[in-house]
Chains A and B, each alone.
Chain A
Amino acid sequence: MIFIKKHIPLFICFFVGVLTLGSYYVPNARSENYLEMMNKWENIVAGFAFLLGLMSLFYSHFHKISRKAPGWGYSLFVYVGFLLVVVPAIVSNGQPMSLTNEMTSLGWIYRFVFTSLSGTMFAVLAFYIVSTAYRAFRIKSPQAFVLFAAAFIVILGRVPLGQMMWDGLLGWTGYQVTDVIEWLMSVPVVAGRRGIMIGIAIGGIVTALKIIFGIERQYMGKD
């Protein structure tokens, strides 16, 4: 039993990991076909896994409704929302526009419900960013001052009104705010980003090696 639950998964992980790693150095068409096959398998597994997720979703919300747990009304809406989108999708045959270029019910739901709700959630970010900025850019140390100064220049210089304000107050220096922003973005920001990217890449390599060689086995569950 241990052989099936431990050794075989470890071997599959090692074999596929080494093969995929090696395919980077092998330019042959067979190597490309292998990578394509792996991608396709991943997509197929993801498709079936989605069914699994859907069942888990319905199961957990059904339990909430049957037990009348706090907030069970929201669980009811999961089913209502699901039907509201799936039924029009089936009726419209998956097409947002009909052959006569008229919006189908799926197209209507997509445009006036899904698009609006998604846009709203993304727009909420703007409000949160403003309230976070109010809390975050407080000068409590020299490093915080540097952060404040950089943020001030970038926020000011990104919009026409800010550029006009800069020209009015500091135009005499001969430097446009966009020049300063370009320097900030090209030099310190890129340097910092590259440093973090390098650290992340190395960490990623070591984590991947740990998994390929079976040292990290958390994901497998019980040994």
Chain B
Amino acid sequence: MKRPPIIPLILPFLFLTSPSSAAKPSPLPPLTGFTAADMPGDAGGAALLRWDSPGEAAEGAAIEVYASDTAKPGWVKIAEFPASAHPEKDMDLPFWAWRAAPGRHALAADTSSAFGRPDGSQEIEFKLRLVKGAVSSETDPVKAVINGNWFNASRLNNLVLMLTIVVVFFWTVSHAKRKGLFIRRIAGLDAIDEAIGRATEMGRPIYYSTGIGSMSMVPTIASTSILGEVARKVAQYDTSLKVPHFDPIVMTVCKEVVKQSYLEMERPDSYRDDTNFFVSQDQFSFAASVDAMIHREKPAACFFIGHFMAESLLLAEVGATTGAIQIAGTEQESQLPFFFTSCDYTLIGEELYAAGAYLSKEPMLMSTLKVQDFGKAFVMLAVVTGSVLLAAGAVFSWEPLMRIVGQLFKAY
């Protein structure tokens, strides 16, 4: 019996299994719906790229983003991420500035790293490449003109709130009454008269420190207002006042404030130019110097009002050991405990800002305190309402509500 021909029988199988005739990997479907536009509400140097979801065929694939400046052509890879990343609903923009379409992806592509950020507009081409192993597919290039925008729509909630506060501010100022507005008693400010009276009786000086803040800081500005009131009373009683300074600019402003106070009380002869003097712009050198002065001169009253950091306890403790009556106030919560324990009276946070109105009793200044109350009432209402809505959203799984409330109160 003749043996069957093996080689002719094997050959077809070999042919079918050879690499050249192996089943070719199925090509990746190209990404569709690709658009590129300027990223809204930014300073330039970013583009908004959007495309349709690649679907299940692209599972395990990656997307590469390429960009080319039309002025200087040459493709540069600017981003790479998994194909399933960046669905439109994950875009970090609020609902009033962004409408996420289902089944679409979006990316804020940063071009500043590759092409810089010129002052004018830039025309840049973009293309996406879908890559899975050795297979890839590319979209057609799309151009976009990138430039800086004039309004950041994400901050609209902040703008509305700010404008509301300004409107309330003007309303309260225009309705400033001659008759006094009720303000609750602030012990620290009432004690200023007592402190100055004590210093006058004992014939010892008063020390007033505006802290280590610069003139651009709000607590320092508030402190200069209080210094003006203190200087008026000091001028009236002819007591000695000393104001050591950390910042030369604050010293210059305080010189004018104190001089003004003496002039208003018609005591220009009592004013001395060295009432305000510069000490040092180093925190602990300032503290050491002022401590030494307080220790030697043993003032009857010490005022520590403004921006203080670690030197607060150094100053307050030395003042306490000399037996001075001490009134302090700062916006730094970390320093408040030190002032509380060492000083007779402490102004907490916003009491510092109300001091100018409280002491001068000027109707316009006092009416602006209503704005602070309005602000606080709004915050309290927002906290309660927001918490209730978020809790309801969590309990009843109302995701849109939770998203809206979260975005409404977020700072973008």
Contacts and interface: CB of A to CB of B under 8 A. Distances in A.
Interface of A: 21, 24-32, 42, 45-46, 49-50, 52-54, 56-57, 60, 63, 70-71, 74, 117-118, 121-122, 124-125, 128-129, 131-133, 135-136, 193, 196-200, 202-211, 213, 215-216, 218-222
B218 interface: yes
B143 to A, nearest CB: 21
A218 B225 contact: yes
Contact of A220 (B150, B214, B256): B256
A54 B296 CA distance: 23
5 contacts: A26-B151, A28-B44, A45-B249, A132-B338, A210-B365
Contacts of B225: 216, 218
B22 to A, nearest CB: 54
Contact of B278 (A25, A56, A198): A56
Given A27-B152, A219-B221, A53 B251 contact: yes
A83 B199 CA distance: 37
Interface string B244-264: 010111011100110110010
A21 B215 CA distance: 17
Nearest to B284: A121
B313 A129 contact: yes
A207 B247 CA distance: 21
Contacts of B218: 203-204, 207-208
A129 B296 CA distance: 22
A53 B148 CA distance: 42
A221 B253 CA distance: 8
A75 to B, nearest CB: 11
Contact of A132 (B281, B342, B369): B342
A61 to B, nearest CB: 9
Interface in B121-150: 148-150
Contacts of B213: none
Contacts of B365: 210, 215-216
Contacts of B252: 49, 52
A199 B314 CA distance: 27
A63 B376 contact: no
B368 A206 contact: yes
Interface class of chain A by DSSP: helix
- Range of interface residues on chain B? 35 or more
Given A202-B350, A218-B257, 16 more contacts: A28-B148, A29-B44, A57-B278, A117-B284, A122-B310, A125-B310, A128-B317, A200-B331, A202-B375, A203-B218, A207-B221, A209-B165, A209-B371, A213-B169, A215-B173, A219-B253
B287 A121 contact: yes
B53 interface: no
Given A50-B281, A56-B251, A206 B372 contact: yes
Contacts of B43: 27-29, 31-32
Given A57-B279, A121-B284, A199 B253 contact: no
Contacts of A197: 333
B401 interface: no
Contact of B288 (A24, A121, A205): A121
Contact of A63 (B166, B274, B354): B274
Interface in B196-242: 214-216, 218, 221-222, 224-225, 228
Contact of A205 (B165, B253, B336): B165
Contact of B349 (A52, A118, A131, A196): A196
Contact of A199 (B159, B214, B248, B350): B350
B248 A29 contact: no
Contacts of B348: 196, 199
A27 B41 contact: yes
B155 to A, nearest CB: 5
B49 interface: no
Given A26-B150, A27-B42, A196-B333, A53 B342 contact: no
A117 B283 CA distance: 12
B274 A60 contact: yes
Contacts of B279: 57
